[in-house]
Structure 1
Amino acid sequence: MPFAPVPSGSVAGRTLQESTYRPRVPPKRLHDDSPNIVIVLIDDAGPGLPSTFGGEVTTATLDRICGEGVSYNRFHTTAMCSPTRASLLTGRNHHEIGNGQIAELANDWDGYAGKIPRSSATVAEVLKQYGYATSAFGKWHNTPAEETTAAGPFENWPTGLGFEYFYGFLAGEASQYEPHLVRNTTVVAPPRTPEEGYHLSEDLADDAIGWLRRHKAFNADKPFFMYWASGCLHGPHHIMKDWADKYAGKFDDGWDTYRQRVFERAKQKGWLPQDCRLTERDETLAAWDDIPEDEKPFQRRLMEVAAGYAEHVDVQVGRIADELDHLGYGENTLFFYIWGDNGSSGEGQNGTIAELLAQNGIPTTVRQHIDALDELGGLDVLGSPLVDNQYHAGWAWAGSTPYKGMKLLASHLGGTRNPMAVRWPAKITADPAPRDVFLHCTDVVPTIYDVVGIEAPRTVYGEPQMPLAGASFARTLADRTAPGGKKTQYFEIMGSRAIYHDGWLAAARGPRLPWVPGQPEGIATWTPDNDRWELYHLEEDWSQSRDLADRLPKKLAQMRELFAIEAARNAVLPIGGGLWVPVYHPELRISPPYREWEFAGDMVRMPEFCAPALGNRNNVVTIDVDIPADANGVLYSLGAAAGGLTCYLDEGHLCYEYNLFILSRTKIRSESKLPPGRTTLVVTTRYAQPRPAGPLDITIARDGDTIAAGCVPISAPLLFTANDCLDIGTCLGSPVSLDYRERAPFPFEGHIHRVHVAYT
């Protein structure tokens, strides 16, 4: 691929009369009833949430897809988002295509390089070459962070990897109210504000529906492939109050009791076998009874918000399914609905109103979160644009019922086992009983090729292609007893690992537990050689409840040897390579290679990963500006409402704010107004103490004279956001300061000639 151009069938003579006209006829590469294909991927959602499988989050669309098709209760992912997405779209294992961890933590080990190689063409690229129209919506998270600016390069954006159309966000998460969005390769603003009713999940469904309608009008004779990957249920948990209120009081008895209810209901529904056991809570994870009574309303409301958020996205999937039927596509559309790219996420740890606190390693107490929330308006603010809340890890554990693990644990099924439903009315007879064939996300691409009747290409744009790692399960769509998938599959994320083979699973939990704040003691000297391995016979122990390692040491040794073989074959080595940057070498985290920048006064939407680190590096910002009398407006802003810094003018007063994840706001304001005219403003940031999260001294000068100064007591050592940006002359994303939120985007009323930034 690409296929050679079809030569003309006409013969040109000297004149038209002497010429033979015979239009070229492209070869037929697809059969007449080639199906349309839709993949829906939900984010950070475990099997214990949907009502479809015994949970208490209403999922009417998932009910419908299961009821009109078939479901799989042993479908598996990688325990982390970017790796799953890369594998799902290519049919290869995540390490062998350089996606051993999220793109932002890329390093130089081959298995962790952070780019999908050209030797692993996506299913979109292959289907496009065969004549499919292709589109992608929502979360991407497979582009290197340093390549996500409006300047590109664009070859690793969705449109460079086989998708003819893309609308969504490139990072791992986004505000659901004020996201940084891209259409194809152009940065675009959300079509409405939160006050006007905007929500990202709805916008993504709207845009997908619009694309389907355009396809019907312009490309009616072409089949299509659509990949719709919501940012829900990833943090921040953003949803309108009326959706959260549907669940008021439903989780009052806590996650331990919720888990028991879901487990019993899942067995009644036939989603879990009757001999399945409910695994125990890890001793390091808090029981509901351990939560102080005065903190329980906060923890309950966090789960109510998450539940409303999850139901809302399922409704948006339903809107897309309805449109497929309305346009006449539903009958011959192969529709995959995958509930989770990994298990539920415990990255909210003890419950938070600013979920990037955990990534920055800043210790806090739940009481600090509650107190800050009270200042914003109380529990009703949860789910709003003012906070980036995420629930307690106990709810993530409950959302992964009946398993031990959750997201980031590749060792346990709660991190890797996700429900999948498939509908294709033209070919699949509805079957209410789930299929229990062991499948992996790498199996989806070969299944699509099998169904469409094509082979994986040997070369694409001259690049030899690596073999597919997955195996088709197409036969199981029509026949539940048919074989499908493969017998062996490894798992590994940041040192947590497992190997499945022919009904057995061996696993080592690795050095970190996602719900435990900070870095674990001894991780600096961690080696996989010292990890304890567990052994489970999944054919007799559905949920990993009985560890057989001590009873069957020879079997465990065989499984460990098999893992070693698969790890070497798939570029997993070194084990724990994904920890290289976040744990051992944080100084290698993706950042611009520059120490100095020159910006025009209207530069906007520079993703934080690519912007100067104004909040955690010694730096000087110099602004050449014309200031009108009593001026208002943002000079520059980095970050978002849940964390960031900003410099602006308010009625002529120069203001600076450092918003440390809502919990602390350092505000500096000049005593007198700045006189009108052209002037030079200099904002100097220096560490008062050279240590991560150390205090920062801020000095602001006008034409060489200091006009304001202050100290930021605690700083953000890594970054403020995953998806927001640096803006100059305005604040186009989520407003950093509450003081100008009602006036956002609060454009500067004067003229900024230039902004110079330099590290010192």
Structure 2
Amino acid sequence: MCSPTRASLLTGRNHHRVGNGQIAELANDWDGYSGHIPKSSATVAEVLRNYGYSTGAWGKWHNTPAEETTKAGPFDGWPTGYGFEYFYGFLAGEASQYEPNLVRNTTSVLPPKTPEEGYHLSEDIADDAIEWLRDHHALAADKPFFMYWATGAIHGPHHIMKEWADKYAGRFDDGWDAYRERAHQGAKDAGWIPADAELTPRPEGLAAWEDIPDHQKPFQRRLMEVCAGFAEHADVQAGRVVDEIERLGLLENTIVFYIWGDNGSSGEGQDGTISELLAQNQIPSTIDQHLAALEELGGLDALGTPATDNMYHAAWAWAGSTPYQGMKLLASHLGGTRNPMVVQWPARISPEREPRTQFHHVIDVVPTIYEIVGISHPEMVNGIPQDPIDGISMAYSIDEADAAGRRRTQYFEIMGSRSIYADGWMASALGPRLPWAKGAPPGIRTWTPDEDRWELYHLDEDWSQARDLADEHPEKLAELKELFAIEAARNEALPIGGGLWVVALHPELRITPPYSEWEMGGDTVRVPEFCAPALGNRPNAVSISLSAPERANGVLYKLGERAAGSRCTWSTAC
């Protein structure tokens, strides 16, 4: 899940220990779910900045408390308050790739071009990062630099120009079940997974390709073609940034960590959609309704354009997580918690096709950087005593491909979905929510983690969690469940499922601005973003009085019907 993973990646601490037990918009009063990264857990950017590095961040952020994301601040929770001297991107969990709400440092800015002029966010943040690199090389060539570059891809909405999607025309015509089998064999042939890794079956409740009506299949195929084009386009933009580092003569001694994935592929599109926030906000719709609306927008060619906010069927996400059971929003099973990472360092690392197989976690990236650059984790940053770091350096694996893994234990938890890894074993509890399930999970208001069934897997012998050994090794399962309870308490993860408090139990407590009306002159171009709670209790509409509505038109994202006169009403449901 977005905010938790990025908070861990940037701090080297487990996500609950830095207040990010769920996304920033769902923060609550429990320490592990507050949405605030404490200054006692400085980011890697803050530490390196104090060691003389130039620091910059681009693209998706999603770690600023939701109530602090307007241009009024406060700004200590923005990227520039967490050690980045420069930031260009968006603060929210997602953005239109054609019309994003952009921020440069702490100033709201408009995209430099319109969609009609060829604008795309991934290209823009690559262009901006390249310009920053050139300025750095010209003006501060003796200083090292730290870049954090994160696209909006392939988070929804899936936006990409037609020519990129067309590159994959026909590649997915046989559907997600067949694609998953091909991907499984391809991963084996490439050596990325063991030859004996088993392909796990499709979960109950997730549609088989043969169950999709024939008249809907072209829509479902095109959604995947768009996603694939979006993914390749993002990859190319990352390559442009690395190419510029090479052109400047800096690549030899630059370490690149390239983590590919958005917490595993995402089933948030549910049955496939032209408006992904319909699904996320549990607004009922049918595929035939989407097809009818799509015809008015230009047919299948409208997918991936500014006219739609499309996202693919959850079964494509399942196929994209081959060979694992999980996907994004599931901390219980690999797929949501196993993404590929490539490390490049030409001065030290020769290209190798054989992957490292030691078990590690995103919290291990920060201590790896510290070891490589020759610094220790500081006890004090900006006068604030620092919390211990949870990560373990992976640098040992650079020179010793077969070295025994040094991460012995790691817990995972998101909204009640949870697992614990220890010495080659993993115990898993699915939790109360399935990413692809529609509506409120049955029994969510009476759910208790004490009644969840736990599964047990021996990952050293079962790469994909295909064989549940809970009945065969009850003592091992009990041992791991106790270890999970210890780790959860130590890392501020209690109460288990605390991330559900707002989204499922008390949507009225969702963080919102303290105002219901804004009175704006002609120069105000940003108001807070609103999303209705995912389950029930939608807030009332807000009113925005515009003294110059013609100037605001096209700047504010209009979601509802415009009222008479100068008073305009926007729905709070995204």
Q: What is the letter of the counterpart of residue 247 of structure 1?
A: Y
Deviation at 1:405, TM superposition (A): 1.0
Report the Cα distance in structure 1 between the residues aligned to 2:397 and 2:108, rounded to whole angstroms: 42
Deviation at 1:481, TM superposition (A): 2.4
Deviation at 1:428, TM superposition (A): 1.1
Change (3 A) 1:634 1:371: farther
Match of 2:120 in 1: 199
Q: How many residues align?
A: 570
Match of 1:395 in 2: 316
Report the Cα distance in structure 1 between the residues aligned to 2:66 and 2:446, rounded to whole angstroms: 29
Identify the structure with the greater strand proportion. 1
Q: Deviations over 1:352-383 (max 9, x none)?
A: 00000122111111111010000111000000
Match of 2:289 among 368, 381, 390: 368
Is the 1:303–1:391 contact (alpha carbons within 8 Å) kept by the matching residues of 2? yes
1:458 and 2:379 are equivalent in the alignment: yes
Is the 2:129–2:241 contact (alpha carbons within 8 Å) kept by the matching residues of 1? yes
Match of 1:62 in 2: none
Match of 2:167 among 246, 269, 274: 246
Change (3 A) 1:619 1:123: closer
1:149 and 2:70 are equivalent in the alignment: yes
Match of 2:573 in 1: 719
Match of 1:439 in 2: 360
Deviation at 1:604, TM superposition (A): 1.7
Is the 1:639–1:645 contact (alpha carbons within 8 Å) kept by the matching residues of 2? no
Is the 2:199–2:464 contact (alpha carbons within 8 Å) kept by the matching residues of 1? yes
Q: What is the letter of the counterpart of residue 144 of structure 2?
A: P
Q: What is the letter of the counterpart of residue 560 of structure 2?
A: L
Match of 1:285 among 199, 203, 206: 206
Q: What is the letter of the counterpart of residue 124 of structure 1?
A: A
1:492 and 2:407 are equivalent in the alignment: no
Match of 1:557 in 2: 478
1:172 and 2:93 are equivalent in the alignment: yes
Q: What is the letter of the counterpart of residue 489 of structure 2?
A: A
- Secondary structure at 1:577 match in 2: coil
1:302 and 2:223 are equivalent in the alignment: yes
Deviation at 1:589, TM superposition (A): 1.1
Deviation at 1:561, TM superposition (A): 0.2
Match of 2:11 in 1: 90
Deviation at 1:683, TM superposition (A): 6.5
Match of 2:140 in 1: 219
Report the Cα distance in structure 2 between the residues aligned to 1:140 and 1:619, rounded to whole angstroms: 27
Q: Mark the structure with the bigger radius of gyration.
A: 1
Match of 2:258 in 1: 337
Is the 1:591–1:610 contact (alpha carbons within 8 Å) kept by the matching residues of 2? no
Report the Cα distance in structure 2 between the residues aligned to 1:455 and 1:159, rounded to whole angstroms: 23
- Secondary structure at 1:89 match in 2: helix
- Secondary structure at 2:48 match in 1: helix
Mapping 1:460-609, distance limit 5 Å? 460-609=381-530
1:327 and 2:248 are equivalent in the alignment: yes
Report the Cα distance in structure 2 between the residues aligned to 1:622 and 1:375, rounded to whole angstroms: 30
1:409 and 2:330 are equivalent in the alignment: yes
Q: What is the letter of the counterpart of residue 401 of structure 1?
A: T
Report the Cα distance in structure 2 between the residues aligned to 1:528 and 1:516, rounded to whole angstroms: 19
Deviation at 1:319, TM superposition (A): 0.6
Q: Deviations over 1:64-117 (max 9, x none)?
A: xxxxxxxxxxxxxxxx11100000000000001100000010000100000110
Q: What is the letter of the counterpart of residue 476 of structure 2?
A: K
Is the 2:525–2:555 contact (alpha carbons within 8 Å) kept by the matching residues of 1? no
Report the Cα distance in structure 1 between the residues aligned to 2:491 and 2:298, rounded to whole angstroms: 51
Q: What is the letter of the counterpart of residue 27 of structure 2?
A: A
Report the Cα distance in structure 2 between the residues aligned to 1:495 and 1:622, rounded to whole angstroms: 38
Structure 2 residues without counterparts, runs of 5 or longer: none
Report the Cα distance in structure 2 between the residues aligned to 1:255 and 1:617, rounded to whole angstroms: 38
Match of 1:645 among 545, 560, 570: 560
1:135 and 2:56 are equivalent in the alignment: yes
Deviation at 1:386, TM superposition (A): 0.6
CA RMSD of aligned residues (A): 2.0
Report the Cα distance in structure 2 between the residues aligned to 1:305 and 1:620, rounded to whole angstroms: 35
Change (3 A) 1:421 1:135: same
1:426 and 2:347 are equivalent in the alignment: yes
Q: Deviations over 1:214-247 (max 9, x none)?
A: 0110010011100101110000000000100111
Change (3 A) 1:543 1:639: farther
Identify the structure with the greater helix proportion. 2
Report the Cα distance in structure 2 between the residues aligned to 1:228 and 1:542, rounded to whole angstroms: 30
Is the 1:592–1:609 contact (alpha carbons within 8 Å) kept by the matching residues of 2? no
Report the Cα distance in structure 2 between the residues aligned to 1:620 and 1:542, rounded to whole angstroms: 51
Is the 1:355–1:390 contact (alpha carbons within 8 Å) kept by the matching residues of 2? yes
Report the Cα distance in structure 2 between the residues aligned to 1:455 and 1:584, rounded to whole angstroms: 43
Q: Deviations over 1:265-302 (max 9, x none)?
A: 11111111011100000011001011010100000000
Report the Cα distance in structure 1 between the residues aligned to 2:114 and 2:258, rounded to whole angstroms: 29
Q: Deviations over 1:7-34 (max 9, x none)?
A: xxxxxxxxxxxxxxxxxxxxxxxxxxxx
- Secondary structure at 2:482 match in 1: helix
- Secondary structure at 1:439 match in 2: coil
Is the 1:504–1:539 contact (alpha carbons within 8 Å) kept by the matching residues of 2? yes
Is the 2:274–2:310 contact (alpha carbons within 8 Å) kept by the matching residues of 1? yes
Match of 1:125 in 2: 46
Is the 1:145–1:610 contact (alpha carbons within 8 Å) kept by the matching residues of 2? no
Is the 1:146–1:609 contact (alpha carbons within 8 Å) kept by the matching residues of 2? no
Is the 1:620–1:682 contact (alpha carbons within 8 Å) kept by the matching residues of 2? no
Report the Cα distance in structure 2 between the residues aligned to 1:357 and 1:623, rounded to whole angstroms: 27
Q: What is the letter of the counterpart of residue 80 of structure 2?
A: T
Q: Deviations over 1:511-530 (max 9, x none)?
A: 01000111111111000011
Structure 1 residues without counterparts, runs of 5 or longer: 1-79, 627-631, 648-655, 657-669, 671-679, 686-715, 721-760
Deviation at 1:599, TM superposition (A): 2.9
Change (3 A) 1:246 1:619: closer
Change (3 A) 1:146 1:481: same
Is the 2:4–2:23 contact (alpha carbons within 8 Å) kept by the matching residues of 1? yes
Is the 1:181–1:190 contact (alpha carbons within 8 Å) kept by the matching residues of 2? yes
Change (3 A) 1:682 1:233: closer
Deviation at 1:622, TM superposition (A): 7.8
Change (3 A) 1:547 1:183: same
- Secondary structure at 2:457 match in 1: strand
Q: Deviations over 1:128-173 (max 9, x none)?
A: 1011111110001000111111111110111111001111001100
- Secondary structure at 2:149 match in 1: strand
Deviation at 1:197, TM superposition (A): 0.7
Match of 1:70 in 2: none
Change (3 A) 1:212 1:522: same
Deviation at 1:616, TM superposition (A): 5.7
Q: What is the letter of the counterpart of residue 303 of structure 1?
A: M
Deviation at 1:606, TM superposition (A): 1.2
Report the Cα distance in structure 1 between the residues aligned to 2:76 and 2:47, rounded to whole angstroms: 16
Q: What is the letter of the counterpart of residue 312 of structure 2?
A: Y
Match of 1:270 in 2: 191
Match of 1:315 in 2: 236
Match of 2:27 among 106, 121, 136: 106
Q: What is the letter of the counterpart of residue 719 of structure 1?
A: A
Is the 1:620–1:684 contact (alpha carbons within 8 Å) kept by the matching residues of 2? yes
Deviation at 1:590, TM superposition (A): 1.5
Change (3 A) 1:638 1:410: farther
Q: Deviations over 1:365-412 (max 9, x none)?
A: 111101000011100000000100000001000000000110000000
Q: What is the letter of the counterpart of residue 14 of structure 2?
A: N
Is the 2:516–2:542 contact (alpha carbons within 8 Å) kept by the matching residues of 1? no
Is the 2:260–2:341 contact (alpha carbons within 8 Å) kept by the matching residues of 1? yes
TM-score, normalisation: structure 2:
0.96
Deviation at 1:607, TM superposition (A): 2.6
- Secondary structure at 1:416 match in 2: coil
Report the Cα distance in structure 2 between the residues aligned to 1:383 and 1:681, rounded to whole angstroms: 34
